């Protein structure tokens, strides 16, 4: 029945028209609005809409007549537009892998290929989907301690380890790693982060169990870190985890709280020992080269003195030989000359002045001859 039909000719309509024309319709019709309400048949409207949609997809109208729609061509257009929209959606038919990522493509959930960073095409979802792990990012796992601002505190269940000399050490360390093979990292191990932490703790406990407490706290930390990195890498390679361990760094290593003060004194004593050894080594490095230099200088001076003395002796011997040859030719003259030369050398620096008695009869006794002599020498 239509909306404006009234029961028994006087019933109320859907908008509350009163019998006899009282009230107003939805368009303001009624006794005061003038005119009758339009005759709207909703069933007819629904049938017209069905006929139009059926015409677009090639169907006939509700009355058995064609509606002049697009038919098969319309279906093809809608299908093509849908496929293009499906493929063009971001992440459906194409994707972009950033510089620090690799694209791992799965086809119906199975691994297909790994693609480098850049723009790539793939089959639309749900045929293919892509995972993009960050292969160059540096990851860190802390074992045995928790960072709190600038300080850290140990985790009792993880940090306490038994050493080779049957002591207890509180040890916390960090493992730094990267993804080496994206496929292996994603599919070979479930939750590789948790597996790596368990492997790291196990490997460190093995190394600590072979080391002494003093070595762990003081001088052997670098060697322990290197050994732990090698052991962790070997185990993860055996699992096919697809990661590479770049570094193991010990963040805190100390004795338990009750004996920590005593071991701190041991560490301080070891540091004082190293300081004393360094000071002594520096003193030795300063004194020994100086002593060697002085010894070398004395040796060189002695060599020079020997050479000078030998050369002088040889010169004197040669001079004596020459004088002796002249002496044999004229003994008196040579003897007189030798005497005068000898006296000249002996009296050269003497302050005494000797006067011949025969030639000094007129000399004034108070004449300051010593002062005159000094002035003549320029003293």
Q: Cα 355 vs. chain centroid, distance in angstroms?
A: 99
Strand 94-97 vs strand 118-121: parallel, antiparallel, or unpaired?
Answer: antiparallel
Which pLDDT does position 139 carry in this prediction?
Answer: 92
User: Domain 139-255 sits in which CATH superfamily?
Assistant: Band 7 domain (3.30.479.30)
Q: Token pair for residue 193?
A: 């982060």
Which pLDDT does position 349 carry in this prediction?
Answer: 74
Q: In this model, does residue 287 exceed pLDDT 60?
A: yes
Flag the least confident range among 142-156, 277-291, 310-324. 142-156
Summarised one tens digit per residue, pLDDT across range 203-259 is 999 999 998 888 888 778 889 999 999 999 999 999 999 999 999 999 888 877 777
Percent of the chain with pLDDT over 90: 27
- Please compute the mean of the pLDDT values over residues 317-341 and round it to a whole number: 85
CA dist 228 and 231 (Å) reads 5
Q: Token pair for residue 71?
A: 């038919």
- Please compute the mean of the pLDDT values over residues 50-54 and round it to a whole number: 59
Which pLDDT does position 216 carry in this prediction?
Answer: 85
The mean pLDDT value of the chain amounts to 77
Percent of the chain with pLDDT over 70: 67
Burial 304-313 (b: 16+ CB within 10 A, else e): eeeeeeeeee
Domain locations along the chain: 1-7+40-88, 89-131, 139-255
Q: How many residues does the chain have?
A: 379
Please give the residue that has the higher pLDDT: either 172 or 347.
172
- How would residue 190 be classed by pLDDT, with cut points 50, 70 and 90? confident
Q: In this model, does residue 316 exceed pLDDT 80?
A: yes
Q: Cα 99 vs. chain centroid, distance in angstroms?
A: 19
């Amino acid at each position: 029945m239509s909306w404006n039909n009234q029961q028994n000719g006087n019933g109320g309509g859907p908008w509350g028209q009163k019998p006899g024309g009282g009230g107003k319709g939805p368009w303001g019709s009624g006794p005061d609005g003038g005119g009758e309400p339009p005759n709207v048949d909703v069933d007819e409207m629904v049938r017209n809409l069905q006929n139009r949609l059926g015409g677009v997809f090639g169907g006939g109208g509700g009355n058995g007549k064609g509606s002049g729609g697009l038919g098969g061509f319309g279906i093809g257009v809608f299908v093509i537009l849908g496929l293009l929209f499906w493929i063009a959606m971001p992440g459906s038919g194409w994707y972009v892998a950033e510089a620090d990522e690799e694209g791992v493509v799965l086809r119906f959930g199975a691994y297909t290929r790994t693609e480098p960073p850049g723009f790539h095409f793939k089959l639309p979802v749900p045929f293919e989907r892509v995972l993009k792990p960050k292969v160059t990012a540096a990851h860190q796992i802390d074992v045995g301690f928790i960072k709190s601002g600038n300080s850290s505190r140990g985790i009792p269940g993880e940090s306490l380890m038994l050493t080779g000399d049957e002591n207890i050490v509180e040890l916390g360390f960090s493992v730094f790693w990267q993804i080496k093979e994206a496929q292996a990292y994603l599919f070979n191990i479930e939750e590789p982060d948790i597996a790596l932490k368990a492997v790291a703790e196990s490997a460190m406990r093995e190394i600590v169990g072979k080391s002494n407490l003093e070595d762990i706290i003081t001088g052997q930390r670098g060697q322990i870190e290197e050994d732990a990195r090698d052991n962790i890498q070997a185990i993860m390679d055996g699992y096919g985890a697809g990661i590479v361990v770049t570094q193991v760094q010990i963040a805190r290593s100390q004795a338990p709280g009750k004996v920590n003060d005593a071991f701190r004194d041991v560490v301080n004593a070891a540091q004082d020992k190293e300081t004393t050894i360094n000071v002594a080594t520096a003193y030795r490095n300063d004194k020994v080269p100086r002593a060697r230099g002085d010894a070398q200088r004395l040796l060189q001076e002695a060599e020079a003195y020997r050479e000078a003395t030998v050369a002088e002796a040889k010169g004197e011997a040669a001079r004596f030989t020459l004088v002796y040859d002249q002496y044999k030719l004229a003994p008196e003259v040579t003897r007189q000359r030798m005497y005068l030369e000898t006296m000249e050398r002996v009296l050269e620096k003497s302050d005494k002045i000797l006067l011949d008695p025969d030639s000094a009869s007129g000399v004034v006794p108070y004449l300051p001859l010593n002062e005159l002599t000094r002035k003549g020498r320029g003293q």
